[in-house]
Structure 1
Amino acid sequence: MKYKLEHACIRVMDLDKSLEFYKKALSLEEVRRLDYPDYKFTLVYLSDEDKNFEIELTHNYNPEKPYEMGNGFSHFALTVSDLESSYEFHKNMGLEITALKGLPGEKPKYYFITDPDGYKMEIIRGDEL
């Protein structure tokens, strides 16, 4: 059997704020939206230009409190060809960002940013994969 990775779902508190983050910080685009007002939620699917994988943002109307991250999920990872320019771009956006990192004895090859709901995104130098 052949399987294809389709999407990952995360729940967000403020859909507009999350869309702004993913569109501006990561150049993802909205590929479809499904509104279910009778059930009080909206699904928004985002992808990169290759459309090989999607992040589904689930927005439940009027959540009472922020979602708990739990301790099992770690992060999403995205590659970029110019890590240093990407790092400066995200830093200048005022995002929560780590220092550039690498394994001991190696040049820096990744960093992390955090979305409005606390989900981590690892940004990896594309030529390192």
Structure 2
Amino acid sequence: MKFNFVHNNFNVTNLDKSLEFYRESLGLKEVERKVADDGSFILVYLGDGITSHTLELTWLKDWDRQYNLGDNEFHLALEVDDFDEAHKLHKEQGCICFENKSMGIYFIADPDNYWIEILPKQLVK
């Protein structure tokens, strides 16, 4: 028996704002979209164009508040081939929420405050 990663999910409050963030900040592109027949939800799958793993953004029509992310330190991690240029972009965008200079990594926060770890390519294992 073998299991493979398929996708991770983040629920979002503003789908357009989130899509813009992931496109502008991380270069992720929409690869699939599912809209409920009754309009109650939209699922958008984003890909990096390299791996088959996707990020599913879920928008719920009747959700009327920010999501409570609690104290759990879950996050996505993405590697980047030009760490310094990525850091410069994210600093300009004002989305860096935590830096660990001793480890050579940093985190950015999306519009719903989900954290994404940015790693230089050589650190990924």
TM-score w.r.t. length of structure 2: 0.91
Secondary structure of 1:49's counterpart equals coil
Instruction: Note if 1:45 corresponds to 2:40.
Output: no
- In structure 2, the gaps of 5 or more residues are none
Supply the distance in 1 between the matched residues of 2:48 and 2:26 (Cα, whole angstroms). Answer: 8
Instruction: Note if 1:91 corresponds to 2:86.
Output: no
Residue type at the aligned position of 2:14: D
Whether the 8 Å CA contact 2:96–2:106 is kept in 1: the answer is no
Supply the distance in 2 between the matched residues of 1:96 and 1:122 (Cα, whole angstroms). Answer: 10
Counterpart for residue 10 of structure 1: 10
Supply the distance in 1 between the matched residues of 2:70 and 2:98 (Cα, whole angstroms). Answer: 21
Secondary structure of 1:11's counterpart equals strand
Whether the 8 Å CA contact 1:90–1:97 is kept in 2: the answer is no
Instruction: Note if 1:110 corresponds to 2:105.
Output: yes
Secondary structure of 1:99's counterpart equals strand
Deviation at 1:22? Answer: 0.4
Deviation at 1:97? Answer: 3.4
Whether the 8 Å CA contact 1:30–1:47 is kept in 2: the answer is yes
Q: For the aligned residues, what is the CA RMSD? A: 1.5
Deviation at 1:70? Answer: 2.2
How many residues get paired? 124
TM-score w.r.t. length of structure 1: 0.88
- In structure 1, the gaps of 5 or more residues are 104-108
